[in-house]
Each structure stands twice: as C-alpha cells, then as structure tokens.
Amino acid sequence: MLRLVRRPAFPGEFNHELIWPLGFVGTLAAGWGWFQTGWQLPGCLFMKWTGFPCLGCGGTRCARHLASFDFTQAFLFHPLLWTLILLAAAWSLWSAVWWVRRDPWRLRLVADEAGWTALRRGFLGLLGLNWLWQCYYLRA
C-alpha cells in the first residue's frame, strides 16, 4: 500500500526538501545556458544503428518546448520527461513553501513491500508505454 504521510524529520535524515530542488534549479540553469549557446547535441547512436528511438530521444526537444512554454508540443516529444519535469517543479514549489513556513513536518512516500513492487512495475510499464509512443512519434 502506498501513501503520503507528513511526519517530523528524523535526526540525521537526508534533507530532500533542500537537495532535490537545488539539483532541479541547477539543472534548469545548466539547460538554459546550453540552449542560449545554440549548440546542438550529437545525434542518437541507438536510433542511428537500430532505427528505433532510445528512452532519451526527444528529451532535448521536450525541454526546449517547455522552456518556451509550448506544453503540448513538449508532451508530444517526450511524455514521461514532461511529467517528471512538472513533478520536479511541483516538488520545488512545495519545498519553497516548506522552507518559508519553517515547517518541521516532512512529506514522505511510505509503502510496504507490495506497494514498492507495484510502484516499480508501474514505472516500468510507463517506461514501456513512453517508448512505444516515441517509436510512433519520433520515427525518422
């Protein structure tokens, strides 16, 4: 069973409310800098060799469209990355509110073994669906 719980921080616990948003903002800054240079990434070798897109194909185009607020086109290029970026933005917003309020309670995902197994299987299923979509949409 999966559930979200609010609980106090444990002594010495990894501070997810600080580390993940900093990583997200750092990645956004690095991506923005890369896009400003106009440099292109090298082509996908997997697609070149097999004719099928890899799991990362379309990610840069998705990020470029998200940076220009074209959410529909970004979703079409890479639905899973689009979802993960928006979830990371929501987590960063939650963390900012958490820091401003100085809230001692942490939001955590808690699950038993069956819940973690279901979460892993669901994620693998999403990866498969995302790849099938990429095979359809990004076919050269």
Query: Is the per-residue pLDDT at 28 higher than 90?
Result: no
The neighbour count for residue 123, using CB atoms within 10 Å, is 11
Q: Extract the tokens encoding 123.
A: 């994620």
Q: State the chain's mean pLDDT as an integer.
A: 87
Contacting residues for 71 by C-beta, under 8 A, at least 6 apart: 65, 82
Backbone angles phi, psi at 53, to 5 degrees: -75, 150
Kindly list the domain boundaries of the chain, sorted by start residue: 46-140
Query: Is the per-residue pLDDT at 140 higher than 70?
Result: no
The neighbour count for residue 66, using CB atoms within 10 Å, is 22
Query: Is the per-residue pLDDT at 22 higher than 60?
Result: yes
Q: pLDDT tens, 85-119?
A: 999 988 888 888 888 888 788 878 888 999 899 99
In the prediction, which pLDDT does 20 show?
86
The full DSSP string for 1-65 is: -EEEEEEEPPTT---HHHHHHHHHHHHHHHHHHHHHHTPPPPPPHHHHHHSS--TTTTHHHHHHH
In the prediction, which pLDDT does 31 show?
83
Q: pLDDT tens, 29-88?
A: 998 888 888 888 778 888 889 988 988 888 888 888 888 889 999 999 999 999 999 999
* pTM of the full structure: 0.77
In the prediction, which pLDDT does 81 show?
92
